[in-house]
Amino acid sequence: MSEDSEEEDYSDRTISDEDESDEDTFMKFEDFHQCALLTANSISDPFFPRTTQILLEYQLGRWVPRLREPRDLYGVSSCGPLSPTRWPYHCEVVDEKVQHIDLTPPHSEPVYIPTGLEIEPLYANSKEDAVVYLAEDAYKEPCFVYSRVGGNRTPQKQPVDNCDNTLMFEARFESGNLQKVVKVAEYEYQLTVRPDLFTNKHTQWFYFQVTNTQAGIVYRFTIINFTKPASLYNRGMRPLFYSEKEAKTRNIGWQRIGDQIKYYRNNPQQDGRHYFSLTWTCQFPHNKDTCYFAHCYPYTYTNLQAYLSSINNDPVRSRFCKIRVLCHTIARNMVYVLTITTPLKNADSRKRKAVILTARVHPGETNSSWIMKGFLDFILGGSHDAQLLRDTFIFKVVPMLNPDGVIVGNYRCSLAGRDLNRNYTSLLKESFPSVWYTRNMIHRLMEKREVILYCDLHGHSRKENIFMYGCGGSDKCKALYLQQRIFPLMLSKNCPDKFSFSACKFNVQKSKEGTGRVVMWKMGIRNSFTMEATFCGSTLD
């Protein structure tokens, strides 16, 4: 929950027109000539109240009071480390820092073409099978209790009996997700992914490490507890793979690999629910390598903080991109908000219309973070188009709405065990702080200027291409009916090989009334969208 009290609520402040100027409205400490800086309670004069919130600067023979900057207002700093990630206290976390190189494949990666001969492994529970990995932290508490920096630090686990040919698994790192691994044959492993914390569902995201590999051996991996009846894995999508040795020696990052890929319904479990399995085979490129598998390209909270820190330390980009803390999550991680515009010192900035972009409300939809990064790279760049957009609009950007879920490796929910994108109408600020403060920030912004566009970035697990959900309008009002379709149509014209206008939908289902798209539309933003990006690829080119 947010740490701010009712009397001193700084976390949802938007930047004022004065804040959009080139220079800070407060002079820096070093700008004063022969001045002193004291807190009010260090002065014995009864004229000054006893407080640490007022700073006293001695200028031209007199004390000048001003308010101290709110703590954690900026969130990122050029001096000192990033704010540490906070985990539920019981989550086991290894000390190892996982890092990957960012590299776009030079060519489009081919999809898997099913042969019709893919087998469907069905595993019976056997006491003879060796459990080689087990993360027991998921069910120690029925709900979130409190957080600690870094979680419950623990050493890495070793394989059973230190068998030379047994793979070692690990997922107790940021955004990792793997609950259990059973070795069912010499080179075959049955995997179970962890549901979202404090729920018993949403098994979709996986991200884990494999070590003690042998090159040239065909391994089979089968994840057995998915709940969605359909998947892009049956339409050509392959699991993502990363080799540290390939990254170091050949500068190859994440790549799609795998053969014998199949997504199928397996035998029902004891609770009567039907589960679905994903199976694939692969060969590791090196002996004794450290490798990773993931559902989609990982983008962690630490990745975001490092990116924002690079912006903050850049003397050019930091002039027109102001980074603030919107609020704190339940686990007391920071939710950042960026204000991007060309700074002006006159009243013309009041005429600028606003654009709102948000992402990563669902933590397993990592493609939304990569789209957000691509947008920020562009809008903060030096192109004439970016400069024109900054001169014309004010962009409010919340790049990661659910950092708690991202950190622990959830697919859909926050640590409240709820889908934040169904709770934009909720008044429970302490339970859903990021969406509460986002809605509040947008409401206050709309009182000052027109918001012409709201777009929430997502990923889609069962459809190809990129498309949008809008809110539509009454058929009786053709202007309103057509208005919602203009921006998606523009996108399809500008990006015909990726964006599908025919896949867009413009309606409001009852089950979606708590989403950001619908709530912002009802608040008065006519162009209010959810942008969905496939986990797989494009069928348009």
Between 479 and 211, the more confident residue is 211
The 10s digit of each residue's pLDDT in 387-401 is 999 999 999 999 999
Has residue 370 got a pLDDT over 70? yes
pLDDT of residue 18: 33
pLDDT of residue 269: 64
In a domain, 26, yes or no: no
Same domain, residue pair 329 and 427: yes
Active-site residue numbers? 532
Say how far apart CA 319 and CA 314 lie, in whole Å.
9
Q: Give the domain range for residue 191.
A: 88-294
pLDDT of residue 60: 66
Say how far apart CA 227 and CA 274 lie, in whole Å.
7
Pairs from 180-184 (Cβ < 8 Å, separation ≥ 24): 180/131, 180/133, 180/134, 180/135, 181/131, 181/132, 181/133, 181/134, 182/123, 182/129, 182/130, 182/131, 182/132, 183/129, 183/130, 183/131, 183/132, 184/123, 184/126, 184/129
pLDDT of residue 4: 35
Domain stop point among 279, 294, 309: 294
pLDDT of residue 83: 81
Task: Tell me what the mean pLDDT of segment 173-184 comes to.
Answer: 96
Percentage, residues of the chain above pLDDT 70: 81
Has residue 368 got a pLDDT over 60? yes
Same domain, residue pair 338 and 475: yes
Has residue 358 got a pLDDT over 70? yes
Same domain, residue pair 275 and 348: no
Q: If pLDDT is split at 50, 70 and 90, which confidence band does 64 have?
A: confident
Same domain, residue pair 264 and 306: no
Question: What DSSP line would sit under 122-157, residue for residue?
Answer: -----TTSEEEEE---TTS-SS---EEET-EE-PPP
pLDDT of residue 31: 36
The 10s digit of each residue's pLDDT in 131-167 is 999 987 656 788 999 999 999 988 876 666 556 799 9
Contact indicator for 244, 289 with CB cutoff of 8 Å: yes
In a domain, 199, yes or no: yes
The 10s digit of each residue's pLDDT in 11-51 is 333 333 333 333 332 333 233 333 444 544 444 444 545 55
Whose CA is closest to 223, among 272, 302, 294?
A: 294
Amino acid making up residue 248: K
The 10s digit of each residue's pLDDT in 404-419 is 999 999 999 999 999 9
Task: Give how many domains the chain has, as a whole number.
Answer: 2
pLDDT of residue 70: 52
pLDDT of residue 7: 33
CATH number for position 421: 3.40.630.10
In a domain, 508, yes or no: yes
Say how far apart CA 364 and CA 366 lie, in whole Å.
6
In a domain, 40, yes or no: no
pLDDT of residue 140: 72
In a domain, 5, yes or no: no
Query: Hey, which residues does 262 pair with through a beta bridge?
Result: 279
Same domain, residue pair 266 and 352: no
- The mean-pLDDT minimum among 152-156, 440-444, 515-519 falls in 152-156
pLDDT of residue 24: 33
pLDDT of residue 104: 84
At residue 304, the 3 state secondary structure works out as helix
Q: How many residues appear in the chain? A: 541
Say how far apart CA 9 and CA 7 lie, in whole Å.
6
Same domain, residue pair 205 and 321: no
Q: If pLDDT is split at 50, 70 and 90, which confidence band does 346 have?
A: low
In a domain, 4, yes or no: no
In a domain, 418, yes or no: yes
CATH number for position 288: 2.60.40.3120
pLDDT of residue 125: 74
Amino acid making up residue 481: Y
Between 74 and 68, the more confident residue is 68
Cβ neighbours around 269 below 10 Å, total: 11
- The mean-pLDDT minimum among 154-163, 183-192, 499-508 falls in 154-163
Strand blocks (E) in 60-111:
62-67, 86-88, 92-93
Domain stop point among 294, 321, 337: 294
Task: Tell me what the mean pLDDT of segment 86-93 comes to.
Answer: 93
Cβ neighbours around 270 below 10 Å, total: 6
Domain stop point among 239, 273, 294: 294
Same domain, residue pair 343 and 234: no
Say how far apart CA 254 and CA 265 lie, in whole Å.
28
Task: Tell me what the mean pLDDT of segment 449-475 comes to.
Answer: 91
Has residue 374 got a pLDDT over 50? yes
Same domain, residue pair 256 and 326: no
The 10s digit of each residue's pLDDT in 283-332 is 999 999 999 999 999 999 999 999 999 999 999 999 999 999 999 999 99
Angle at 405 between CA 82 and CA 179, to 5 degrees: 115
Task: Tell me what the mean pLDDT of segment 460-489 comes to.
Answer: 85
- The mean-pLDDT minimum among 48-62, 91-105, 302-316, 511-525 falls in 48-62
pLDDT of residue 69: 52
Same domain, residue pair 267 and 375: no
pLDDT of residue 371: 97
Say how far apart CA 471 and CA 525 lie, in whole Å.
10
Same domain, residue pair 452 and 493: yes
Same domain, residue pair 447 and 506: yes
- Round the average pLDDT of the chain to a whole number and report it: 86
In a domain, 358, yes or no: yes
Question: Which pair of structure tokens corresponds to residue 3?
Answer: 């740490």
Task: Tell me what the mean pLDDT of segment 47-64 comes to.
Answer: 63
Same domain, residue pair 239 and 317: no
